[in-house]
Amino acid sequence: MSSNVRITQTTTTTTTASVLVINTGYLKTKLGLLKSLIFILTLIAFILMSVRHRYLIANNDFLFLYLINWCHLYAIFLMLITCLFSLSTATLMPKMTFDFVFHFSATILFLLAGLWSISIAIDSYYSTYKTASILAFLIALLHALHGYFSYATCKLH
C-alpha cells in the first residue's frame, strides 16, 4: 500500500512602494471639518496679529491672545496632519480623553483671551486686533463643538 502525496510550496513576495496615503475621508467627517475650520480661523487670527507685531512687542496687551493662537495653531496642525496621514489615528483620536479635554481647555483659553483682548481693543483704533478678538470667540465656539462631539464619541466607546 503505497500512496503518493504531492506537496507544493508557494511563496508569495509582495513589495510595497512608499506611497503616501492621505485620509481625505477624515475631512468629510464633522470632527475633521471642525478641526480644519479651527486651523484656518486660528491661522487667520495669527496672521492678523502678526501684521502689527511691532505694536504687539512694544505694548503686550494682546500678547496672551497671540500666544494662545500660536500654541493652538501648532497643536491643531499636528493633530490634523496626524489624522490625515494615519487611518488608525483618525479613528482613535476622538475616542481618547485627551481630545475632548484639549478642546474644552482651548475653549476656556480662547474665551479668556478674546474677552481680555476685546476689552482692550474696543477703545483702540487697531482693527486687526478687534478682528482677531472676534475670531477668538468664534474659535472658542468651534472648540466647544469639537469637544462636545469628541466627548460624545468617547462615551459611546
Q: 140 phi and psi, to 5 degrees?
A: -60, -40
Q: Looking at residue 1, what is its pLDDT? A: 63
pLDDT confidence tier of residue 136, bands split at 50, 70 and 90: very high
Give the list of residues 6+ apart from residue 124 with CB closer than 8 angstroms, or none.
130
Q: Cα separation of 88 and 50, whole Å?
A: 35
Distance of CA 58 to the CA centre of its chain: 30
Q: Cα separation of 89 and 83, whole Å?
A: 5
For 21-80, write each residue's pLDDT tens digit: 788 888 888 999 999 999 999 999 999 888 877 766 666 778 888 899 999 999 999 999
Q: Looking at residue 154, what is its pLDDT? A: 79
* pTM, entire model: 0.81
Better-scored residue on pLDDT, 141 or 8: 141
Locate 17 and state its grid cell. Answer: 512602494
| pLDDT above 70 coverage of the chain, percent | 87
Burial class (CB in 10 A: 0-12, 13-18, 19+), 106: buried
Location of C-alpha cell 485627551:
98
Q: Cα separation of 42 and 36, whole Å?
A: 10
Q: Cα separation of 16 and 45, whole Å?
A: 42
Q: Looking at residue 18, what is its pLDDT? A: 60
End-to-end CA distance of the chain: 61
Has residue 141 got a pLDDT over 90? Answer: yes
For the chain, what is the largest distance between any 2 Cα atoms, rounded to a whole number of angstroms? Answer: 105
Distance of CA 59 to the CA centre of its chain: 29
Has residue 93 got a pLDDT over 90? Answer: no
